Amino acid sequence: MAGDGRRGTFITFEGGEGSGKSTVAEHAAARLREQGHDVLLTREPEGTDLGRHIWDFFRELAAAGKTMTAEAELFLFAAARAEHARTVVRPALESQADVREQPDPPVIVDRRHSPEEAEARSGFSDYSHAFARCR
């Protein structure tokens, strides 16, 4: 990371299915690119191989009319988010912060599903309580 403490800008667009997140994120990225910014546009949970597998699994369950516990959903989305943050977002922010010509190059994330939705359904506000309940 740049020694002067600069970091890239992290922008997320969240909302329900069909709310226009992808369209808005794509337009924002295009506009920033027009202004000369190097932009990473990614999606959560599909921004990593793990996230794509998890998302496909959820779609397969829904197509089969099956469900899972809210806790299982919470942990799967937390795993996808952690993988995305560690392997895509953080490295992009760190490497972009090293580019001296751009003090705040953005990373834009289109979030299709928020683990907070699963948290709300499971009744947990943090994961430690969920782990205790699953023992």
Write out the chain in H/E/C secondary structure: CCCCCCCCEEEEEECCCCCCHHHHHHHHHHHHHHCCCCCEEEEECCCCHHHHHHHHHHHHHHHCCCCCCHHHHHHHHHHHHHHHHHHHHHHHHHHHHCCCCCCCCEEEEEECCCHHHHHHHHCCCCHHHHHHHHC
Could you report the per-residue pLDDT of 53-67, keeping only the tens digit for each?
999 998 999 899 998
Could you report the per-residue pLDDT of 66-125, keeping only the tens digit for each?
988 888 888 898 899 899 999 998 888 887 655 545 555 678 888 765 555 555 555 555
CATH 3.40.50.300 fits 9-95+103-134, yes or no: yes
Q: Tokens representing 87?
A: 């392997």
- Model confidence, pTM: 0.72
Residue 104 and residue 6 in contact, taking contact as beta carbons nearer than 8 Å: yes
